[in-house]
Structure 1
């Protein structure tokens, strides 16, 4: 009986100890179940949060994830630096706290989880929620906010070398101008990486890529610029010097350049502008078929109408256009006269009377000038007024010279032999009149010629020997 009693006492003692142990265990588990801190050895996103409350961890994570700074560099040199908050990114603390509190609950999701957590702790990974203000990054990240001023681009351009007389292309200069939107996108990309990172990152350096800079508008490879250079170099050395006696007209690249135009990928010369230039040249230097004013030996001003002025120079505008076009395309220096339809015997600019015969019909007197010097003067006999065979007034060139010659008036069969014949207008001309014994006065009124200018033989000989075909004969009353 005593043995049984002892066993009972032992059993009761064991049951009592077990009850106490169970009570203690239940109390401990109850306390751990309801704890407001994380278990020992617990980490969240790599941070040790043992025995910390969610509110404490909130500040740890907020500080850690808000800390990284983004630095924009150029050639390794800092141009701007911003924190996430300066860029408009802030941790959404209410959402993060909710996530932390949810993690706290997860450590007691079940008794086995609770016991495992008590023994080994837990490892949680949370997405860190950020809110963003798009307006901030647009206001703080601008090209103007960078430390160094931006260098402007320089377009490729044509340059002219006076020494070589050629054009070349001066290459473009790549500046450092940036579009605000481009650098904002660059910085934003890096910021988005930081705010979506599972673990907090360190500071980030971002080098501005070379392809982010604004490109010059015109590059040295530009087709239009190269076409312009090649076209200009094809014509820029053309120099045409027009010879008008001692007076010159020089046409060079300063004028020709304005005649170049580009169409359908080709450089061309404007026919319209070249022809306009030739026309202006003709208007300035043509002397035939224009109204001519002449100062006589006696100082009188005589005006000949365009129909009376049959002597001088006339530019062949079509021929000159073709020649000028060819000269420009040859791209060399040329000195020449214009292409003439009619050409006098000499000129000094617009003065084409360096050599001429002057006849005053009223005074019945002649003067012959050559190179500005009087060669001979004499009385003459002109066309018979009474028979209406008057000598024609006007300005006419000597058509040719003939010695000897036989002159046969119209409607007559018999001719008159002369030694010197120099016709100038419709059968009228200068010639010797050996049959006359007197010249000048009023002879021409009733005993004049058939229209020719009769000269003393010696005078006719002097004129014939010194005059050139084409020399103008100027006749007036």
Structure 2
């Protein structure tokens, strides 16, 4: 073989060897782009010759196969079973698979073991996982002090900044984040220290924004609106003002729905109609009387309109609320019956007229028939009006009509009233049980005449 032939032979061999090498490298590249190479260990799991999907499924199954324990000084406080979590590890696995080509070729040729660590970041939890944390007893212990943010006190017009409070109530979301972080790192036990998971204040008294908000409140919530109720007053707090007004582009706007809600609460608090009242009865001592139509009643519709007008004016206001009804006696606050009233004692079948604390008349009576289902309603009422020479018409329990002419008619609630009953020869006793009225209070004519002359519309009528 000549020198030239030898050179050609060597050159051809080199080209062939190089071509074979490129072919082999290409094959390694194709394979290692789809499968992990032999001896690939990820987070302690053998992932050799697995696809990305297979490796993810295997790692997920291995991680979710653990139970997570919460420990305290060697004792188990709680355990999370059946993790069933979803992990965001796709990108990490892709990076592990797509390492530089020369490194993959080297590993393929040398069969070198590759140990890889990735973070098992949790992408999604399930309801069962959350429920197990939510129900752990040590997380649900009663706290002694609740964590509170620093805030501007809107209960009065000092607008003081109240310092934040660091409590000992547990922030479950903070604890859950610690659990997920441990799982992501491959740790399936957590040493529990309660103070690590205390709820933290979100706003501190040193926050400059809080001083800005204080100035904002002083500017917008300083209006003084005072209601004069009975014998006491109530001033709308800055917090209540805030609930009813908004500031947009420097202009005050009134939230009418919020005003309605505030006035409704005002009525619930200060209306006395139908409320339970302590009453000094003649025969029974102090009793409680509930129900009826007597007392203070705020006209909520008109009061809303008035309050909206006050709020829009931005001026200080002091006034009485607008009532649709006020009691006969207005000097006793919630004790609005006073010392002048009619007392009707059903169990004793007796009536008294009190004026300024003294009995003017008393009389036996007959009230609604219990047997006939016409019981006289109990409660605190008022004389609606009075009239002479009235025919009382209605129907008996058997359907027949009745027409009873009376000289003195004094209704106190719907069709219930006090009147003379000239057709009766007797009053008092147990007559009302079987032969009572249709619900009215029957009186002897002379007693009815005196009562009629002594009372006027609005006079309290207490039935018990």
Return the TM-score normalized by structure 2.
0.45
Question: Of the two, which has the highest radius of gyration?
Answer: 1
Q: TM-score, normalised by structure 1?
A: 0.44
